[in-house]
Chain A
Amino acid sequence: MEFLWDVIRDAVAALGDFGPELREVLWLTIVVSGLATVIGVVTGVPVGLGLGLGRFRGRKVALTIVNAGMGIPPVLAGLVLLVVLWDDGPLGGLDALFTPGAMVAAQALLAFPIAAGVTAAAVANLGFDAREHIAALGLSRTGTAAVSAREVWPGIVGATAAAFGRVVSEVGAVLIVGGNIRGETRVLTTAIVEEARQARFGAAVGLGVLLLVLALVVSTVLTATQLRRADG
């Protein structure tokens, strides 16, 4: 029992301290996961709309790939990017390995199929009648996608929340391509791994609480958006 109390006391102490290093880790987490989510949503939502609305050859295969992609292990995504960005790899010249840029790319890779897959599911949920009403507007392909997006707006916000939740909580991809370099590529999840490995459980739990709060804040903002636009 005393051990648990120690852990909690240390966690509170770590949070109370909130030094520059912790601030840097939190900030990098927000920037990396935020950017990755934005990239994943900006590219994934149009793809999801296309998959949900389109009637083209290969649609089923593409949907299957996207749905499978929602479950890709982060470690694997990181590994693929590691090989690609390795000095002798195809994009080795970019010299991007072990930088925040590589971490954003790795997480965007994870966010994309979530954004696309959840959006496609939301559009598929529109039903024949609603789609027919949209088709009857006689809009261009882009116009049709825009109107459909507005119709499934809560679904797209949900896709965004799911994508952010996925990337902010993963550790495998950022660890592999970022390297968890102190002061450079350390984010909340990799920091937790580091502290836990060093048996500094209090600090690890403190970081975990911070991660939870971050997820909660983002989720609160997105939910508010979701509800505000759900009816009107």
Chain B
Amino acid sequence: MAEAFVFTGPFRLPRGEALDVAELSVGRGERLVIFGPNGAGKTTLLRHLAGTLTGAPVDPGIAYLPQRAHAFKGSARRNLLLGLAKDRHGAAEHLAAELRVSGLLERAAVSLSGGERQRVALARALAGTEPLVLLDEPLAAIDLRDRDTVAAAIVRALEGRSGVIVTHDEATAAAVGDRIAVIVDGSIRQVGPVADVFSLPADEEVAAVVGLRNVLEGDVVAAGDGLVAVACGSVEVWALGELDPGDPARVLFGGETVTVSPPAPMTSSARNRWTGRVLTVRRVGRLVEVIVDVGVPVAAVITPGSFEALGLGEGSEVAVSFKATAARAVAVGIHH
């Protein structure tokens, strides 16, 4: 993909320290998600891209939606059209309809709820023709049940344009991102396709940030061909890793990569397969997280459909499996 926008650091925090980000590039037509916990430096990084940290006006080639939509004085319609060229007013009205705020446009903007302001501001930010669009937490104030619609509208509006979207929400990242850059404590720890980063985090901090539920500890008992076996409690877990036997290690793998099946024996290429009893079940967003005790607790994230089909409940006996290539073993104390 052609790199349409390349930003080079140093990107500094307002208090003077530099973010540990040397360069950030976004391809033409690509949507890059900046993902990380609160205080990681996501917003600061986006402000650097927008150029607003210095108090300068934003470059005409960039559309920028800062976090927490602001209600400018006047009607919601004034807010929607503020700063837009006349020939983009139609597009803004269309987006307002898509984001379901058309009926609110005659109201005073200050009387709108946070989510409604956010939709109006988002419609304005997306209505232009700037080749690069920067969005800071565009879905944060939007009700959970409406996020899919709004995310879809963002993806449509960004077609053919480049986007950088800051979020700390996995679902938002997965919904709008092509690539994801995970930022922790001011440094970008991993950049890659969203699915790759979520299912194969570079280290345990990234794993913790992207919401992966499985981080097992143990010592390496076998190694070779880029794979290692780590003895975690009573089970041996196979994972990708360049470690030596005897090394203390942590094995990281995504809950989404774990398959849950009836305990009956079945053939599978998965190196990791154990049976155990379901400890807990809880909903995580639109999915279900099942924690199974196989000697150590293993979390699997499955669809409500599979959950129903398997007839699972606490105490059910099940088999869990995942491929060694879906897990990564890292040496304890070393961050890549």
- A interface, CB within 8 angstroms of B: 55, 129-133, 135-139, 141, 143-144, 147, 150-151, 153, 229, 231-232
Q: Is the CB of A153 within 8 A of B73?
A: yes
Q: List chain A residues, Cβ under 8 A from B47.
A: 132
Known interface pairs A135-B52, A135-B58; 4 further A-B residue pairs with C-beta atoms within 8 A, sorted by A's residue number: A136-B52, A136-B58, A136-B65, A138-B59
Q: Which residues of A contact B65 (CB under 8 A)?
A: 136
Q: Knowing A55-B55, A232-B108 touch, does A137 contact B83 (C-beta < 8 A)?
A: yes
For the complex, what is the distance from the CA of A136 to the CA of B54, rounded to whole Å?
Answer: 13
Q: What are 16 sample pairs from A and B whose C-beta atoms fall under 8 A apart?
A: A129-B70, A131-B55, A132-B66, A133-B70, A133-B72, A135-B56, A136-B50, A136-B52, A136-B64, A138-B63, A138-B128, A139-B83, A147-B72, A150-B74, A151-B72, A153-B73
Does any Cβ of A come within 8 Å of B68's Cβ? yes
Does B110 interact with chain A (Cβ within 8 Å)? yes
* Chain B residues closer than 8 Å to A132, beta-carbon distance: 47, 52, 66
Measured in the bound complex, the distance between the Cα atoms of B82 and A139 in whole Å is 9
Q: How far is B122's CA from A136's CA once the two chains are assembled, in angstroms?
A: 12
Distance of A133 Cα from B79 Cα, bound (Å): 11
Interchain CB contact under 8 A, A139 and B57: yes
B311 contacts the other chain (Cβ, under 8 Å)?
no
Query: What is the number of residues of chain B that contact chain A, defined by CB distance less than 8 Å?
Result: 29
Residue B103 at the A interface, CB < 8 A? no
Instruction: Determine how close the nearest CB of chain B comes to the CB of A127; give it in whole angstroms.
Output: 10
Nearest neighbor of A149 in chain B, beta-carbon distance = B73
Contact with A147, one of B82, B108, B130 (Cβ below 8 angstroms): B82
- Which residues of chain B come closer than 8 Å to A151, judged between CB atoms? 72-73
Q: For B70, what are the chain A residues with a Cβ–Cβ distance below 8 Å?
A: 129-130, 133
State the Cβ distance, A23 to closest chain B Cβ, in Å.
40
Q: Is the CB of B52 within 8 A of A232?
A: no
Q: Which listed residue, A129, A144, A150, touches B66 by the CB 8 Å rule?
A: A129
Which among B55, B66, B74, B75 is the interface contact of A136 at CB below 8 angstroms?
B66
Q: State whether A144 touches B110 (Cβ < 8 A).
A: no
Q: Please report B residues at the A interface, Cβ cutoff 8 Å.
A: 47, 50, 52, 54-60, 62-66, 68-70, 72-75, 82-83, 108, 110, 125, 128, 130
Residues of the A chain whose Cβ atoms lie less than 8 Å from the Cβ of B55: 55, 131, 135
Contacting pair B68 A129 (CB below 8 A): yes
Q: What is the CB-to-nearest-CB distance from A232 to chain B, in angstroms, rounded to a whole number?
A: 5
Question: Contact: B68 with A138, CB < 8 Å?
Answer: no
Contacts of A141 in B (CB 8 A): 57
What CA separation (Å) do A232 and B187 show in the bound complex? Answer: 42
Bound-state CA distance A143–B65 (Å) is 18
Contacts of B57 in A (CB 8 A): 135, 138-139, 141, 144
Instruction: Tell me whether A55 and B56 are in contact in the complex, defined as CB-CB below 8 angstroms, given that A133-B66, A136-B64 are known contacts.
Output: yes
State which of A144, A150, A229, A231 has its C-beta within 8 Å of the C-beta of B72: A150
Interfacial chain A residues near B62, Cβ < 8 Å: 138
A138–B65 alpha-carbon span in the complex (Å): 11
| Cβ of A141 to closest chain B Cβ, rounded Å | 8
A151 to B47, CA, bound (A): 22
Residues from chain B with Cβ under 8 Å of A131 in the complex: 55
Nearest A residue to B125 via CB reads A136
B68 touching A55, Cβ below 8 Å: no
Closest beta carbon of chain A to B139's beta carbon, Å? 18
Residue of A nearest to B111 (CB): A231
CA distance A232 to B111 in the complex (A): 9
Query: Which of B57, B68, B74 gathers most chain A CB within 10 Å?
Result: B57
Write out the residue numbers on chain A whose beta carbons fall within 8 Å of the beta carbon of B69: 133
Q: Which chain B residues lie closer than 8 Å to A143 at the CB level?
A: 83
